[in-house]
Amino acid sequence: MEEEPADGPSAGSAAEGPAADGSGTGEIEQSSREVTLMFPSPEDEVLHGQARRILWTASVEDRARQTLTELAAGPQEGLLPALPADARLREFFLLSDGTGVADFSGEIRGVKGGTDGERTALQAIAHTLTFNFPEIRRVMILVDGDETETLAGHIDLRYPVVPDPALLGPGPVNPSEEQPGPKAVAE
């Protein structure tokens, strides 16, 4: 078996972007794009957007996984966490009817704040996904791989969570409409 020449394609070149001659052929371009995560604020009772970058892959399920992982990591400055600090996304998949299914670790049951805290957490998940991915219209929540009636005893989760526009604060801008021109940045 012959080795690849030093200037030829290699297994690690997929993230290098378009061909050096500008033709756009050759390697597959990997890019990152901005998504908007929804977090509560200490100043009011609505959700506010905070930008993060994710690797923009061909799979909406993979992009949703990355986005929910960022949401679980918490906000940067000025906003409050939407989910308990130790809650982790286990899996995400998308059904053909537009229902996203988000499976979280059992720590998500540690949501504080009674009915309002539980509603805020669920709406942060639903708004984050539906705002960034038009393919997702509602979100079913699983805990440790199982359906659950509620997270903390307040909100019925036997049905998918639909985003409530009354909980969306002013300010978030659709990432694809934020600025003219392409949003992708070659890595």
pLDDT in tens, 99-139: 999 999 999 999 999 999 999 999 999 999 999 999 999 99
Domain ranges (residues) in the chain: 30-161
Cβ pair 92, 62 in contact under 8 A: no
pLDDT band at 29 (very low <50, low <70, confident <90, very high): low
Read off the pLDDT of each residue in 40-60 and give the average, rounded to a whole number.
96
Could you tell me which of 38, 42, 113 has the C-alpha nearest to residue 80? 42
- Least-confidence region, from 67-76, 158-167, 168-177: 168-177
Residues ≥6 apart with Cβ < 8 Å to 82: 38, 39, 40, 47, 71, 74, 75, 120, 121, 124, 125
pLDDT at position 71 over 70: yes
Could you tell me which of 159, 142, 68 has the C-alpha nearest to residue 104? 142
Q: Supply the DSSP symbol for 84.
A: -
Helices (H), 41-134: 60-73, 114-132
pLDDT at position 179 over 90: no
How far lies 87's CA from each of 69, 72, 78, 84, in Å? 10, 6, 21, 5
Output the average pLDDT for the chain. 82
pLDDT of the residue at 120: 97
pLDDT at position 151 over 70: yes
pLDDT (tens digit per residue) in 87-102: 999 999 999 999 999 9
